[in-house]
Amino acid sequence: DAGVTQSPTHLIKTRGQQVTLRCSPKSGHDTVSWYQQALGQGPQFIFQYYEEEERQRGNFPDRFSGHQFPNYSSELNVNALLLGDSALYLCASSPLENLYEQYFGPGTRLTVT
Amino acid sequence: AQKITQTQPGMFVQEKEAVTLDCTYDTSDQSYGLFWYKQPSSGEMIFLIYQGSYDEQNATEGRYSLNFQKARKSANLVISASQLGDSAMYFCAMREGRHTNAGKSTFGDGTTLTVKP
């Protein structure tokens, strides 16, 4: 039973560029949440998707957008990258009937230069 | 607004001894869940233990137990018989609402635990 997978594992981008991160949820999970974790801090909630729609959003600008596909996988897009966007981006999946059951992927480490 | 506070940036413990990691929380919701995660240097967030706000007994999972004091709004993690592999960052987190509409997790800033041989 595969857990949550994320790709790529590492990414280096230049300020002003755009980036897309990908996440496949754990088998049987239909809800995906994205978090940003800056170095030395706890994860910060970006948004949550289920039924292919954004359902909740944290305090992140519109440069951060997402998408969920019919197979429940998800993408996180960040436009006009800033140096401050450098962080570990974590994806977590849950079954809709129990959002307390949340499993995290290994993360994508994004470096913006 | 929900908030998690972890006041210990770093903790040291001798191998085979017990250690308590502190966590206090703030919420106005009556239904919530409290979680502890372990994050090794590899970055993956590993679930350790969960406590529901209506649970009367403290949660236990192997060497992990959660000391839940609702009136004090604290949810401390106790690790018994520490092992070298327990060295990692530990995060306390909370999700508000019932299971079906708990939207997001709020995390503390973490405690770095170092187990000494």
What radius of gyration do chain A's Cα atoms show? 13
- What is the β-pairing status of strands B111-116 and B10-14? parallel
**Residue-wise pLDDT tens digits, A15-24:** 999 999 999 9
Cβ <8 Å between B45 and A55: no
The alpha carbon of B86 is separated from its chain's Cα centroid by a whole number of angstroms, namely: 14
Q: How far apart are CA A88 and CA A110, in angstroms?
A: 6
Tell me what the pLDDT averaged over chain A comes to: 94
**Which residues have a Cβ under 8 Å from the Cβ of A14 and sit 6 or more positions away?**
A81, A112, A113
pLDDT at A40 over 70: yes
Q: Please, where are the H alpha helices in A25-98?
A: none
Q: What mean pLDDT is predicted for residues A56-68?
A: 96
Q: Å from B2 to nearest chain A CA?
A: 12
Q: How far apart are CA B50 and CA A56, in angstroms?
A: 22
Q: Å from A14 to nearest chain B CA?
A: 23
**Residue-wise pLDDT tens digits, B2-22:** 899 999 999 999 999 999 999
DSSP string, B22-68: --EEE-S-SSEEEEEEEE-TT---EEEEEEETT--SPPEETTEEEEE
Q: How far apart are CA B106 and CA A56, in angstroms?
A: 13
- What is the β-pairing status of strands B111-116 and B24-26? unpaired
B25, B29, B35, B44: which to substitute to probe chain A, counting the most A Cβ within 10 Å? B44
Per-residue pLDDT at B2: 84
Tell me what the pLDDT averaged over chain B comes to: 93
What radius of gyration do chain B's Cα atoms show? 14
Q: What mean pLDDT is predicted for residues B23-28?
A: 95
Q: How far apart are CA B99 and CA B1, in angstroms?
A: 19
Cβ <8 Å between B100 and A98: yes
Per-residue pLDDT at A1: 64
* CA triple A1-A65-A49, angle to 5 deg: 40
A5, A104, A108, A109: which to substitute to probe chain B, counting the most B Cβ within 10 Å? A104
- Residue of A40, A56, A103 with shortest CB distance to B103: A56
Query: B39 falls in which pLDDT band (50, 70, 90)?
Result: very high
- Residue of A43, A103, A106 with shortest CB distance to B47: A103
Q: What mean pLDDT is predicted for residues B79-92?
A: 97
